[in-house]
Amino acid sequence: MSRIGKKPIDFPSGVKAAMTDNVITVEGSKGKSTYNIPPRFKVEIKDNKIVVTRPSEEKQDKATHGLIRSLINNMAIGVSSGYMKELEITGVGFKAAVQGKALNIQLSYTHPINFNIPEGITIETPKPTNIVIKGIDKAKVGKAAAEIRDFYRPEPYKGKGIKYVGEHVRRKAGKAVTGSGGAG
């Protein structure tokens, strides 16, 4: 964990970082992101590079050191190029459509599911069976994708459900026919 924290963060071109008190603000072409840094840690910004230093060699400080560095790096990538997750819907009559600030999903339930789109996230449905989630915050994009997937996880027998594009669903064989019938 501390090995990650020791690496300096190189910013892509067009990304600016500023530090006020214990709040770091990263700004780029896609937007602006902020993070509150724990007061014990020091963050230095020099020549489009950020270096995070930890106060001690305690195990907790080492873990937090790596976490802070990773979060700042994710912010830099998010404001420059953004994050995207794609979901695929498989099943007869399963479809999704964006309606205003909600995603309307029709699955095998008796009612449609309305998922309220979180702030800072955009959801598109290029096809009724594809959902594209975009945003600058990696955690928000991943959380929204996981929540949508949880409405109907892919099942192993027919493969119906909502899955990530590229996700492999392990399939199971159904019941095997054992004989010509009857108890005997």
Decide if 151 contacts 161 (C-beta within 8 A). no
Structural domains of the chain ordered from first start:
2-80 (3.90.930.12), 83-164 (3.90.930.12)
**What percentage of the chain has pLDDT greater than the value 70?**
95
Nearest to 103 by CA among 120, 118, 84: 118
What pLDDT is recorded for position 178?
A: 58
Q: What is the pTM of this model?
A: 0.86
- CA 126/CA 122 separation, integer angstroms: 13
- CA 137/CA 148 separation, integer angstroms: 17
Average pLDDT over every residue of 53-66: 88
What pLDDT is recorded for position 129?
A: 95
| Per-residue buried b or exposed e for 126-156, using 16+ beta carbons within 10 Å of the residue's own CB | eeeeebbbbbbbbebbeebbeebbebbebee
Query: What is the per-residue pLDDT across 95-152, written as a single tens digit (0 to 9) for each?
Result: 999 999 999 999 988 999 999 999 999 999 999 999 999 999 999 999 999 999 999 9
What pLDDT is recorded for position 156?
A: 92
- CA 144/CA 169 separation, integer angstroms: 20
